Chain A
Amino acid sequence: MAKVMVLGAGIAGHTAAMTARRALPREHEVVVVSPKDAYNWVPSNIWVGVGRMSPEEVLVPLRPVYERAGISFVMGRAVELRPEGTPASPRPFVVVEAADGSRREETYDWLINATGPRLNFGATPGLGPDGETHSVCTAEHAAATARAFAACVADLKKGARRTLVVGTGHGSCTCEGAAFEYLFNVEYELRRLGARDKARVVFLTNEAALGDFGVDGLRLKSGGYVVHSRTFAESLFAERGVEWLTGAHVRSVRGGALEYETLEGAEGRLEFDFGMLLPPFTGVGLKSFGRDGVETTAELFAPSGFMKVDADYAPKPYEEWAPADWPRVYQSPRHPNLFAVGIAFAPPHPISRPRKSPSGTVISPAPPRTGMPSAVMGRVVALNTADRILGRETPARTASMAELGAACVASAGAGWLSGTAASMTMFPIVPDYARWPGVGRDLDYTFGEIGSAGHWIKTLLHHMFLYKARAQPGWWLIPE
């Protein structure tokens, strides 16, 4: 009998656990460890953040799902990995901390780390819900953000002028697509609620150009040209009357204003009344120890706190980055029974060209690991693990971001007939400029357009993925 343990019940971890459970006979155990007993469909948090959905609509209670599926659930936060056990027992285990601070050891045979990000608001003084800005990274944050947004709308309707700033709260942030979506939902709601005329809406981003999205942008066929997504993004901003500041790092937020520096070396201050700025991400702070109790965190994890897997981490200049640098099976080079998927794995380097300000501040997006590839990684690692447990000699399935495509639907306003969203596909996620010179991706599989159809697809995905998360009949037929 084997015990497969999954740390985290987000998009990657929940997919891994459900897939492993389905692939393995019942004599094998599947255990999920997570500090929260609800699954959050994070992409819909942007709608919670403008008050169009309640937190309950984006959360799925996990205990009944796991009970039905035959998955054990341990509520707590993994804090230590002991992949070699102790001198007394070689069986690997994880130290799990409960909400009351008590700790227990949970043994495993196979471990899938899908702990996602730590929201590092502390990187920028004054950033985040404990400071002066809001967040939509969790359903709870988004609900609080919606209340602040409603108060701002009420002031605008009374005739007050208000500045709303949305974007990234640090030069090293990722998830620019989420900030973009929240921005245009805010702008759409202001119009819908008759509060747009007195509102100044500003987007502040660490992207060197709009439409970069942390993936070096997309090049799309349009009107006989190959056009960078920057053109389409700027067009949307101009059309919707949104101002923007690119290549910006927020140094601090205090007294109702943020101070920033830019890639050009300029410095500035922007006063605002309502701000939603995403934090940079780090790993969740897992530590690891060898059998003798000596700490091995620096060998198992990158300095960012994300777990090292089968990637090429040798530092190299942008010109030498290659698709082969990206991991394929998400296996720890030190422990063959240890994997990291979703945001938890350490990428070998960014995807967008790295940039610094004249003062040396890194101002460029960290590589996004969006929902679709995160779930594909979770499924692939779970299936490979099941094969090994069942003694199958099949070659390992792979899920390299340099070989996978992604579909993204970025909402620009939630309304059946007046709402829109930008639907995009790209192949591959990590551009290969040697194979597709100048464009980096296959133009036949990379496209984008904006319209109501995108909003319908985004809404459909919301319902499909919640159905899948609840493990309702035929859930496995829904692709990631």
Chain B
Amino acid sequence: MTQTPIQTGAYASRPTPWTAFLRTFLPWQLVRFAVINLRMLRMLSKSR
């Protein structure tokens, strides 16, 4: 029986500290909230 090594992310990409910081940085996320909503609405209108 061969055992598959469970992967641990040694070769995975990682976010830079700046990217990781922005993910929960309130002012930036308020902007992203608006942008994501607009992108979703745009996609919805294309689907209709």
Contacts and interface: CB of A to CB of B under 8 A. Distances in A.
Contacts of B8: 238, 243
A423 B43 CA distance: 13
Given A234-B13, A235-B12, A267 B2 contact: yes
A47 to B, nearest CB: 19
Given A243-B6, A425-B39, A449 B32 contact: yes
Given A405-B43, A405-B44, A417-B26, A456 B33 contact: yes
Give the interface size bracket for A toward B.
35 or more
A245 B8 CA distance: 9
Contact of B23 (A242, A403, A452): A452
A224 interface: no
A253 to B, nearest CB: 17
Contacts of A264: 4
Contacts of A457: 33, 36-37, 40
A248 to B, nearest CB: 8
A237 B9 contact: yes
A404 interface: yes
Interface in B3-48: 3-4, 6-10, 12-15, 20, 22-24, 26, 28-30, 32-33, 36-37, 39-40, 42-44, 46-47
A272 B2 CA distance: 20
Nearest to A480: B44
Interface string A355-376: 0000000000000000000001
Given A407-B43, A454-B36, A245 B26 contact: no
Contacts of B2: 265-267
Nearest to A461: B40
Interface in A198-246: 202, 231-232, 234-235, 237-239, 241-246
Nearest to B9: A238
A239 B30 contact: no
Contacts of A238: 8-10, 12-14
A179 to B, nearest CB: 16
B4 A268 contact: yes
A262 B26 CA distance: 42
Contacts of B29: 451-453, 456
Interface in A420-479: 420, 423, 425-427, 445, 447, 449-454, 456-457, 479
Contacts of B47: 376, 403-405, 427
Given A264-B4, A267-B1, A457-B37, A234 B9 contact: yes
A318 B46 CA distance: 27
A454 B43 CA distance: 16
A451 B3 contact: no
A427 B23 contact: no
A450 B23 contact: yes
A425 B4 contact: no
B44 to A, nearest CB: 6
A418 interface: yes
A427 B24 contact: no
Contacts of B7: 243-246
Question: Which of A239, A246, A403 is the most central at the interface, judged by chain B CB atoms within 10 Å of its CB?
Answer: A239
B44 A451 contact: no
B26 to A, nearest CB: 7
22 contacts: A202-B6, A231-B13, A234-B9, A234-B12, A235-B12, A235-B15, A237-B9, A239-B9, A239-B14, A243-B9, A244-B6, A245-B6, A248-B4, A262-B4, A407-B40, A423-B40, A451-B23, A452-B23, A452-B24, A453-B29, A453-B36, A457-B37
Interface of A: 202, 231-232, 234-235, 237-239, 241-246, 248, 262, 264-268, 270, 376, 403-405, 407, 417-418, 420, 423, 425-427, 445, 447, 449-454, 456-457, 479
Given A405-B44, A405-B47, A445-B43, 18 more contacts: A234-B13, A235-B15, A237-B12, A238-B13, A248-B4, A266-B3, A270-B6, A405-B46, A418-B24, A425-B39, A426-B43, A427-B43, A449-B32, A451-B24, A452-B29, A453-B33, A454-B36, A456-B33
Interface of B: 1-4, 6-10, 12-15, 20, 22-24, 26, 28-30, 32-33, 36-37, 39-40, 42-44, 46-47
5 closest A-B pairs (Cβ-Cβ)? A238-B9, A238-B12, A266-B4, A234-B12, A453-B33
